[in-house]
Copies of this chain bind each other. A is one copy, B any other.
Amino acid sequence: MTRLLDTLALRPTDRRPIWVMRQAGRYLPEYLELRSRHAFQDAIRDPKVASEITLQPIRRFGFDGAVIFADIMTPLEAMGVDVTFDPGPRLTPMSLAEIADLPDLDPDRIAHVAETLRLVRREVPEDVTVIGFAGAPTTLLAYLLEGSGSKEYLVLRRAMHEETPELEAAIAKLATSMHAYLGMQIEAGAQVVQLFDSWAGTLPRSILEERVFPAARDTLSDLEAPTIYFAPGAGHALGSMRDVGASGYGVDWRIPIDEAWDQLGPAVAVQGNLDPAVLLTSPDRVHAAVRALIERTAGRPGHIVNLGHGIDRRTPLENVAALVAAVKESS
């Protein structure tokens, strides 16, 4: 077992595991160097490049988790959806009926992700945990309906209020496909999978409870690996989020992690929740913030240190090093 797997099983460890969302990304010079030669989607589609990008932050910082380099939109290509990046995803907006009628995910069209996972699993040190991921049905639905990122996702929210049979069918299609995608990742070597529900937080709690969490539960159920569910901005529904049935839950930076844990309940692990903005300050401040964070979860196995959101591309490397050092010198 690895430190991260033990923590997700609520078993005591010598210290907390640490990884960082978007750790394989634009704050790293070696990533920018590789990306100067490979476009974003080409890098994802080439297992040699994608595995190299996945491994870069492990080599530089010694994170405990290696999260695969891909995008939550990646598997939609294997359902016949054309997506480009600018830098956020762009696609032709679709109706609920069109989404419901998409073909099921074809694993052969996304075999490069499986191959990347196999390469990464072969390369990482034994104590580093390989993490796969997917976008949750609601969040993918948001992009498919709106055609891009949006500040408020009103088209998604309207669809949720209208509660049509097409809505149910569209969500079911995405849940089934992402379930298959995550299963494929686990088979290829992912030891943990995280489900990103990036836009769930724009929805009222009642809809989260009636639609969003059940869809996430369907996506994660009966997978052969521990699971993490992350819905930033959904702090207004932590009390019912455990219905997703994940092994652990990501917590954003808005509320103290111990309070979030109390609301999620004692039977789950928590992941988070440093404000990524702290990593824009100084090593001293990062160090102090890590100590304060760790104090809040002292004496309770089940805490994975991470940010409350993806790392910002402007983050100085020395602050990331300070983050990892502070976690590694703690117990």
User: Measuring CB to CB, which residues of chain A are less than 8 angstroms from any residue of chain B?
Assistant: 149, 151-152, 154, 157-158, 160-162, 201, 203-206, 233, 235-236, 253-256, 275-278, 280-281, 285, 289, 309, 312, 314
Contacts and interface: CB of A to CB of B under 8 A. Distances in A.
Nearest to A201: B254
Given A152-B276, A205-B255, 5 more contacts: A152-B312, A201-B254, A203-B254, A204-B275, A235-B236
B280 A158 contact: yes
Copies of the chain in the assembly? 2
A151 B201 CA distance: 14
A254 B201 CA distance: 8
- Residue of A236, A254, A312 most packed against chain B (CB within 10 A): A254
B235 A281 contact: no
Given A162-B281, A205-B256, A309-B152, A157 B236 contact: no
Nearest to A253: B204
A247 B309 CA distance: 34
A202 to B, nearest CB: 8
A203 B285 CA distance: 17
Nearest to A260: B236
Contacts of A157: 275, 277, 280
8 contacts: A151-B151, A152-B276, A152-B309, A154-B277, A161-B280, A162-B285, A203-B254, A204-B253
Contacts of A151: 149, 151
B233 A161 contact: no
Given A152-B309, A154-B276, A256-B205, A281 B161 contact: yes
A236 to B, nearest CB: 5
Given A161-B275, A235-B235, A236-B255, A280 B154 contact: yes
Contacts of A281: 158, 161-162
Nearest to A151: B151
A277 B312 contact: no
Contacts of A149: 151
A161 B254 contact: no
Contacts of A280: 154, 157-158, 161
A205 B260 CA distance: 12
A277 B161 contact: yes
- Residue of A154, A289, A312 most packed against chain B (CB within 10 A): A154
A285 B253 contact: no
Contacts of A276: 152, 154
Contacts of A285: 161-162
Contact of A312 (B154, B205, B235, B256): B154
A205 B256 CA distance: 8
A300 to B, nearest CB: 21
A149 to B, nearest CB: 8
A62 B96 CA distance: 36
Contacts of A275: 157, 161, 204
Contact of A233 (B160, B205, B206, B233): B233
A-B interface, 4 closest residue pairs, ranked by CB to CB distance from nearest: A157-B277, A158-B280, A236-B254, A158-B277
